[in-house]
A and B are shown apart, each in its own frame.
Chain A
């Protein structure tokens, strides 16, 4: 127990937790946003061929929003990194 407390004192606890959180949010977030963009693009291509205009528009909107979120996440990460 004493060893664990000593280790916790040595470790940059707050910074380590922030690293864990930032990695989880950005790593998982970017992959999910990209997958949604891919889903939107593929569905848009399929639905456009079937004359389902409204559904195709919804898929295109999803693709655009997800791609924008993906790119924004990457850009935000780089900006934060260069500012410290």
Chain B
């Protein structure tokens, strides 16, 4: 009975994480379309939300990686470990959202899970091969790859259209961004929603509801899809401003190639089950498209701050995850710890949001 109550709390927390993931990350997805004038903010966000939902149903390879290849399911002796990892990820997501930094929700999730698992069962709980081979190395390669793909693509695109009148070219690429932005939203939905599916599946395996190596059930896929889509629709205006305009001023052709590069890298990686940071990839594409035109066009200082947030994400989320696990353990292995921590977390989030509301409206996209 107690473990079932914790399972309900874990599933609800995982879906809350998925919501914050959409809230936090999808701003990055739509920023390019908004900053080039290809779409109005509300339209771009609604479009992204719908395609995030659809994208979540395309594949389950990444969910399988999260459920089986990063943390040893055998080491999850208590659902409190999964719960604490999720709290680590959500907390870091909200902290970086509050300060307007587009850090990685995926790395926050993986960091949080590693932190709580190591706190509970030692370093043996982490599957090193899976962590390095499927998360860390692809995580480093992917943004660099997006940078290169966007850079090469925009270089060739400029060569093709350089003798044309600028008006039709701009309008043509703005129209193209409806497709490339859609593909990027689809890619984001398929890679990011699967991480939540993977965590819920891991919890179901640990609780004995599913056998080892099982795929996520349909209700898990549908609920994760709905949560990320709702989070997406809820917005994330501060981060839109950072990614869309403060890293680089873009034209429509650059926006198209950045989005195309991001979608290509995320979809290809998803096919092989690599749980990427979509934030890293999209920012890599944006910087590649900017640097190919003029290196000084990229605001490297802002890019540096974002890189710092990226570097901090895994250890910070891991530390919060480990601390949360320690806190829940004070109350034993039952449901009391997660219930109390959830109440504390909800109170803190409410306080932060009310403070934000008192300070004024979120920063609009410009």
Which residues of A approach B to under 8 Å, CB–CB? 7, 10-12, 15-16, 18-20, 22-24, 26-28, 30-32, 34-36, 38-39, 41-43, 45, 74, 77-78, 80-82, 84
Contacts and interface: CB of A to CB of B under 8 A. Distances in A.
B66 interface: no
B268 A19 contact: yes
Interface string B123-167: 000001100111001100100011011101110110011001100
A80 B61 CA distance: 13
Contacts, number: 131
Interface in B259-310: 260-261, 263-265, 267-272, 274
A45 B168 contact: yes
Interface residues of B, number: 50
A31 B179 contact: no
A81 B137 contact: no
Contacts of B133: 10-12
The main secondary structure of chain B at its interface with chain A is: helix
A65 B153 CA distance: 19
A38 B158 CA distance: 12
6 contacts: A27-B149, A31-B260, A38-B173, A42-B172, A78-B186, A81-B59
Contact of A19 (B132, B154, B269): B269
B168 A10 contact: no
A39 B176 contact: no
Contacts of B186: 78
B265 A27 contact: yes
B149 A41 contact: no
Interface string B42-72: 0000000000000000110100000000000
Contact of B164 (A15, A26, A42, A81): A42
Given A27-B265, A42-B172, A84 B271 contact: yes
Contacts of B263: 27
